[in-house]
Structure 1
Amino acid sequence: MKRSDPAAGAAAKPVVVVGSLNMDLVFRVPRVPAAGETLHGHGYTTSPGGKGANQAVACARLGCPVALVGQAGRDGYGDDLCAALSANGVDIRHVRRTGDATGVAMIMVDDQGQNRIVLAAGANGALRPADVDAAGELIAGAGLLIVQLEVPAAAVLQALRLAAAAGVPALLNPAPAQALPDPFWPLIDILVPNESEASLLTGIAVTDVPSAYQAAQQLRARGARRVLVTLSDKGVVLLDELGPRHLPARAVSAVDTTAAGDTFIGALATGLHEGLTLDEAAAFGQSASALCVMRAGAQPSIPYRHELTP
């Protein structure tokens, strides 16, 4: 079936995110400790996170109707994550509670605002294709599907297949970085990797705009209709049927880059859902992520629409 594009006519349909929910355990550190070293940190916090949940919250805070399909444990972290999602206006009717522990992420943020993350998947790792099938009607009625790779590949692939069968465009954020099985490629409408993810997928060392163009060309040749390679402070490279473009980054002083990519994805999806062009939606994503990195935490740093609109 021919896939459609997100457009203003789909505004009544929700964006559907199939993905992870994690409780983030965040350590502020002066630098990354060496092997065997014990390092005094500046502080410690917990906050709701997970790529799927973050992207859903970004959509919701920017005014886009959004539902999340995923899993959390029947524990205190699961309670807190679900409460935070509901408070942000995310539809969580398809967030299943299981006997597995809720996923957690241990995040170290250094004095330059860069993060290092270790995941324990917990309930996220038990998401099955059958769980995605249970949300099949929701996915078929979506304006856009968003998926990432913090849940099992079989569940992600099933979500992509359901979207393609219903003519729903699908956005894949291939994070954490890993190889994509061949069946994924013809189902991807929009692929949004960062430098390391694009490097792993292509074998090209993506370090600047020219190498990002080269990687984007290879990724599009594999089947992704539109490719956006995010380059942190170097901006975003876009490639589609109109050819390659580069959008420079906003100049900001980063405090914490956690959730910056997820904020970009949520804002990009919101812009496309509202009928913006790919370039306009990407620029909107840059504005949102620029504000995100100026604040600490994952979901606490995600901006609201009124903060981006004069």
Structure 2
Amino acid sequence: MSEYDVCVLGSFMKDLVASAERRPLPGETLHGTGFAEFLGGKGVNQAIAAARMGARTAIVGTIGEDRYGEEFLELLSANGVDASWVVRHPSLGTGVGLPLVLPDGGNSIIIVSRANAAITAADVDAATEALVASKVLSVQLELPVEASHSALRLASTAGVTTILTPAPVGPVDPALAAYVDVLVPNEVEAAALTGLDCEDESQVPAIARKLAEDWDLRGCVVTLGARGAYVLDRDGGYEERIAAHQVATVDTVGAGDAFCGSLAASLAHDAPLIEAARLANAAGALSTTTNGAAASAPTHEAARSLLTLTTTQPGASPTVPPATNHPSTSRDTTQPGASADTSPAS
């Protein structure tokens, strides 16, 4: 039996979040409406999401020997994520993110990698035990490409199912793509990787097919924000559009990571891709009902409850209150599974 269900290679970002009525114009100083600090980063967000979905989870990454680094280790421990392969850099601080959140929950983010950028292929090789002892490996592109390539190669060669979130989007080394089983881009990333327009509903199936063929994938899941998601399973030979859930959106930061972490957990538990994506769609939607990134990841029970409610009441638009039972503790600009309804929950 595998020691872990999910292993995540990814970033650690301390988020310093400003809220404002709008984005400032070039050269403009704008009064904000709020400020908060959260623990995030795609790697941490996905690891916490997977753990809350019931997966035995480990994370590989690099943090600084600073207060932020200590906060991350405490968060991981509190959520049952094994941080044995997290390296502490002696001179570079823990990564930081600077999100700006607007009243409708939309966000834009600047990240400063710091210690994240120092992870090497040798650091990844030192974590081989975790990588090959997992059922699923989840990787993003916030870390140096050589580290991502090394992790994907080691895991794929060992028969581990590999998932890649191509964010931040950019040119992808074909050598890296060769080790990816399931690709999970959002609509912006999918458009950048294919040159096709994700805003055009009729193009979405063609985009998923092109990615699956170009990357020789087993599956592709394109998250479409408030429009849901599109799933292509080449192994199962089917495609399906998944509708969004109606929720009271508060903050979309980390929604894509909640989706990916949930997807990884379900695949590790042997769910077919379409079933894993449906549950991930519910998890992503629920994550938008509270502030923060890692803090917003829902439990398996909460995601399953929303999915069951929506399935048994076709056409219903249930009011979903803010998520609860999350310790106070970012990172993408779409909200998978959430059909934005920013009215207060009642």
TM range (shorter): over 0.9
Q: Match for residue 3 of structure 1? A: none
Listed as ranges, the matches of 1:104-143 within 5 Å are 104-143=96-135
TM-score if structure 1 supplies the norm length? Answer: 0.94
**CA offsets per residue over residues 62-114 of structure 1, 9 Å max, x none?**
11100000000001111111111111111000000002111000000101100
In the alignment, is residue 251 of structure 1 matched against residue 246 of structure 2? yes
CA distance in 1, matches of 2:244, 2:151: 32
Match of 2:83 among 92, 95, 110: 92
The residue aligned with 1:228 is: 221
Q: Kindly provide the CA deviation profile for residues 130-159 of structure 1, in whole angstroms up to 9, marking residues without a partner as x.
A: 000001121111100000001011100000
Q: Which residue of 2 aligns with 1:294?
A: 289
Q: Bigger CA drift: 209-218 or 19-28?
A: 209-218
Corresponding residue of 1:239: 232
Partners of 1:49 and 1:299 within 8 A in 2: yes
Deviation of the 1:271 alpha carbon: 1.2
* 76-85 or 146-155, larger mean C-alpha shift: 76-85
Give, in angstroms, the shift of residue 208 of structure 1: 4.0
Structure 1 SS opposite 2:138: strand
Of 71, 77, 100, the match for 1:80:
71
Q: Partner residue of 1:166?
A: 158
Superposed, 1:1-310 pairs within 5 Å as: 13-98=4-89, 99-222=91-214, 223-241=216-234, 242-310=237-305
Match of 1:6 in 2: none
Provide, for residues 153-197 of structure 1, a one-character-per-residue CA deviation record: whole Å limited to 9, x for no partner.
110000010011111110000011112111122211000000110
Equivalent pair of 1:187/1:224 in contact (CA under 8 Å): no
The AA in structure 2 aligned to 1:204 is L
Partner Cα separation in structure 2 for residue 205 and residue 101 of structure 1:
39
Would the aligned equivalents of 1:209 and 1:246 in 2 still touch at CA under 8 Å? Answer: no
Whole-Å separation in 2 of the counterparts to 1:308 and 1:15: 18
Shift of 1:36: 1.0
Q: 1: CA distance between counterparts of 2:284 and 2:156? A: 29
| Contact 2:162 2:179 survives alignment (8 Å) | yes
Q: 1:23-44: per-residue Cα shift (whole Å, max 9, x none)?
A: 0111111111111111111111
| Paired letter, 1:52 | G
CA 186–108 in structure 1, closer or farther in 2 if over 3 Å, else same = same
Question: Partners of 2:33 and 2:24 in 1: how far apart?
Answer: 13
Partner amino acid for 2:14? M
- Write out per-residue CA displacement over residues 242-290 of structure 1, whole angstroms, 9 at most, x where no aligned residue: 1321111112231110010000001111111112111111110011111
Range with greater deviation from structure 2 (166-175 or 248-257): 248-257
In the alignment, structure 1 segments of 5+ residues that lack a partner are 1-8
Shift of 1:309: 4.3
1:115, 1:257 within 8 Å by CA — same for their partners in 2? Answer: yes
| Residues 22 and 81, structure 1, Cα contact 8 Å, conserved in 2 | no
Q: Which secondary structure does the structure 2 equivalent of 1:252 belong to?
A: strand
Contact 1:57-1:90 at 8 Å conserved across structures: yes
Q: Give the whole-Å Cα distance in 2 for the aligned partners of 1:161 and 1:270.
A: 20
TM-score, normalised by the number of residues in structure 2: 0.84
The answer to whether the 8 A contact 1:208-1:231 is kept is no
Amino acid across the alignment from 1:57: I
Pairwise CA RMSD of aligned residues? Answer: 1.3
Whole-Å separation in 1 of the counterparts to 2:200 and 2:77: 39
SS at structure 2 position matched to 1:40: coil
Give the AA of the match of 1:224.
L
Q: Retained in 1: the 8 A contact 2:233–2:273?
A: no
Q: Distance in 1 between matches of 2:70 and 2:169?
A: 29
